[in-house]
Chains A and B, each alone.
Chain A
Amino acid sequence: MKNAVGRDIPEFLLKDGREVYQGKNYMDGKYLQKAAPRTRRYEKPQESKIVDSIVDALKQVGAKSGMTFSFHHHLRNGDFVVNMVMQAAIEEMGLDNITIAATSLGEAHDPVAQYIEDGKVVGIQTSGIRGKIGEVVSAGKLKTPAIIRSHGGRPRAIEAGEVHIDIAVVAAPTSDCVGNCRGIGGKSNCGSLGYAMTDAKYADHVIVVTDCLVDFPNMPASVEAIDVDAVVVVDSIGNPKKIASAAARISQNPRDLMMAENVAKVIASTPYFKEGFSFQTGVGGPSLAANLFLEKYMDERGIKMGWAIGGICGPMVEMLKKGKVGKVIDVQDFDLDAVNSINQTPGHYEMSASQYANPANKGAFVNKLDFVVLAALEIDTGFNVNVLTGSDGVLRGAPGGHPDTAAGSKCCIIVTPLVRGRMATVCKNVVTVTTPGDCVDVLVTDYGIAVNPLRPDLIKCLDDAGLPHVTIESLQEKAYSLVGTPDDLEWEDKVVAVLEARDGTILDVVRKIKPLKL
Chain B
Amino acid sequence: MIPRPKPERFRLRRTMMFMNAQKPGLIKDAYIYGVDSIMLDLEDAVAENQKDAARFSLYHALKTIDYGDTEVIVRINGLDTPHWQEDIRVCVAGGADGIRIAKCESAQDVLTVEKAVEEAEKEFGVEVGRTLLMAALESPKGILNAYEICAASPRMFGVAISGGDFRKCMQTKPTASGIDMVTARGMMLIAARAAGIQCFDTVFTDLDDMEGFINETKQNKEMGFDGKSLINPKQIRPVHEIFAPTEKEVMQAELMVRAFREAAAQGIGVFTVNGKMVDVAFIPGAERTLRLAKACGMYEGDLV
Distance between Cα atoms of A257 and B235 in the complex (Å): 12
Cross-interface CB contact of B297 among A254, A258, A446, A466, cutoff 8 Å: A466
Q: Is the CB of B29 within 8 A of A258?
A: no
B225-250 interface (Cβ within 8 A of A)? 232-234, 237
Closest to A466 in B: B297
Interface string of A444-487 (1 = CB under 8 A from B): 00110000000000000000001000000000000000100000
**Roughly how many angstroms separate A447 CA and B233 CA in the complex, as a whole number?**
14
Bound Cα distance A318, B234 (Å): 23
Residues of A contacting B297 in the complex (Cβ-Cβ under 8 angstroms):
466
Please indicate which of the listed interface residues B29, B233, B234 has the most CB atoms of chain A within 10 Å of its own CB: B29
Closest to B65 in A: A482
Asked whether any CB of chain A lies closer than 8 Å to the CB of B277, the reply is: no
* Residue in contact with B233 in the complex, picked from A254, A466, A482, CB distance below 8 Å: A254
Contact check, B29 vs A446: say whether CB atoms are below 8 A apart: yes
- Whether B32 and A257, one on each chain, are in contact in the complex, defined by CB atoms closer than 8 angstroms, is no
A-side contacts of B32, CB under 8 Å:
255, 258, 446-447
Q: Does residue B56 face the partner (Cβ distance < 8 Å to A)?
A: no
Per the bound structure, the CA–CA distance linking A339 and B143 in Å amounts to 58
CB distance from B147 to the nearest CB of A (A): 37
How far apart sit A261 and B33, CA to CA, in the bound complex (Å)? Answer: 11
Complex alpha-carbon distance, A431 and B46, angstroms = 41
List of A residues within 8 angstroms of B29 by Cβ: 446-447, 482
In which size bucket is the chain A interface?
under 10
Within 8 A of A (CB), among B275-304: 297
**Using an 8 Å CB-CB cutoff, how does the interface string of A248-291 with B read, 1 for contact, 0 for none?**
00000011011001000000000000000000000000000000
Number of A-B contacts (CB under 8 A): 18
A255: chain B residues within 8 A (beta carbon) = 32, 233
Flag B31-58 by CB within 8 Å of A: 1 or 0 each.
0110000000000000000000000000
Instruction: Give bound CA distance, A482 to B232, whole Å.
Output: 24
Give residues of chain B (84-102) contacting chain A, Cβ–Cβ below 8 Å. none
Q: Mostly helix, strand, loop or mixed at chain A's interface?
A: helix
Which residues on B sit within 8 Å (CB–CB) of A482?
29
Q: Cα distance A466–B234 when bound, in Å?
A: 20
For the complex, what is the distance from the CA of A29 to the CA of B2, rounded to whole Å? 57
Question: Chain A residue with minimal CB distance to B17?
Answer: A254
- How far apart are A138's CB and chain B's nearest CB, in angstroms? 30
Q: CA–CA, A258 to B233, complex, Å?
A: 8
Q: Determine the chain B residues whose CB is within 8 A of the CB of A258 once the complex forms.
A: 32-33, 233
Distance of A103 from chain B, by nearest CB (Å): 36
| Cα–Cα, bound, A466→B237 (Å) | 16
Q: Which residue of chain A has its CB nearest to the CB of B28? A: A482
CA distance A446 to B29 in the complex (A): 10
Closest-CB distance, B24 to chain A (whole angstroms): 12
| Smallest Cβ-Cβ distance to B233: which chain A residue | A254
| Residue in chain A with minimal CB distance to B298 | A466
Bound-state CA distance A5–B33 (Å) is 34
Within 8 A of B (CB), among A417-453: 446-447
Residue of B nearest to A446 (CB): B32
Tell me, in angstroms, the Cα distance from A251 to B56 when the chains sit together: 31
Contacting B234 at CB < 8 Å: which of A257, A446, A447? A257
Min CB gap B9→A, angstroms: 28
- B32 CB, nearest partner CB in chain A, Å: 5
Give Cα A255 to B26, complex, Å: 10
Give CA–CA (A466, B300) in the complex, Å: 11
Q: Which of A254, A258, A261, A482 has the most CB of B within 10 A?
A: A254
The residues of A that contact B33 with a CB separation of less than 8 Å are 254, 258
The docked-state distance in angstroms from the alpha carbon of A261 to that of B29 is 18
Q: How far is the CA of A482 from the CA of B29 in the complex (A)?
A: 10
Tell me which residues from 3 to 43 in chain B have a Cβ below 8 Å from any Cβ of chain A: 29, 32-33
Q: Which residues of A contact B233 (CB under 8 A)?
A: 254-255, 257-258
Q: Measured between alpha carbons, how far is A446 from B297 in the docked complex, in Å?
A: 19
Chain A residues, CB < 8 A from B232 = 254
Contacts of A447 in B (CB 8 A): 29, 32
Nearest chain-B residue to A445 (Cβ)?
B32
A261 closest partner in B (C-beta):
B237
Distance from B209 Cβ to chain A, minimum over Cβ atoms (Å)? 15
A257 contacts across to B, CB distance below 8 A = 233-234
> Shortest Cβ distance from A470 into chain B, in angstroms?
13
Instruction: Tell me which residues across on chain B come within 8 A of A466, comparing CB atoms.
Output: 297
Mask of A401-420 contacts with B, CB within 8 angstroms, 1/0: 00000000000000000000
Query: What string of 1s and 0s marks CB contacts (under 8 Å) between B161-191 and chain A?
Result: 0000000000000000000000000000000
Min CB gap A446→B, angstroms: 5
Q: How far is the CB of A474 from chain B (nearest CB, A)?
A: 13
Q: Could you tell me the distance in whole angstroms from the C-beta of B267 to the nearest C-beta in chain A?
A: 39
Which A residue sits closest to B32, measured CB to CB?
A446
A180 to chain B, nearest CB (A): 47
Give CA–CA (A255, B234) in the complex, Å: 9
Residue of A nearest to B30 (CB): A254
- Shortest distance from the beta carbon of B235 to any chain A beta carbon, whole Å: 10
The chain A residue sitting closest to B237, CB to CB, is A261
Interchain nearest-CB distance for A416 vs B (Å): 14
Task: Determine the distance from Cα of A171 to Cα of B142 in the docked complex, in whole angstroms.
Answer: 71
Q: Across the interface, which residues of B come within 8 angstroms of A261, CB to CB?
A: 237
A257 CA / B236 CA spacing, docked (Å):
12
CA distance A258 to B33 in the complex (A): 7
A255 CA to B233 CA, complexed, in Å: 8
In A103-139, the 8 Å CB interface with B consists of none
Interface 1/0 per residue, B44-79 and A, CB below 8 Å = 000000000000000000000000000000000000
Distance (whole angstroms) from the CB of A462 to the closest CB of chain B: 13
Chain B residues in the interface with A (C-beta under 8 A): 29, 32-33, 232-234, 237, 297
Can you list 18 A-B pairs with a CB-CB distance of less than 8 A?
A: A254-B33, A254-B232, A254-B233, A254-B234, A255-B32, A255-B233, A257-B233, A257-B234, A258-B32, A258-B33, A258-B233, A261-B237, A446-B29, A446-B32, A447-B29, A447-B32, A466-B297, A482-B29
A contact residues vs B (CB 8 Å cutoff): 254-255, 257-258, 261, 446-447, 466, 482
Query: Which 8 residue pairs of A and B lie closest in terms of their CB atoms, listed nearest first?
Result: A254-B233, A446-B32, A466-B297, A447-B32, A254-B234, A258-B33, A257-B234, A254-B232
Other A-B contacts than A254-B33, A261-B237, 14 sampled, CB-CB below 8 A, are A254-B232, A254-B233, A254-B234, A255-B32, A255-B233, A257-B234, A258-B32, A258-B33, A258-B233, A446-B29, A446-B32, A447-B29, A447-B32, A482-B29
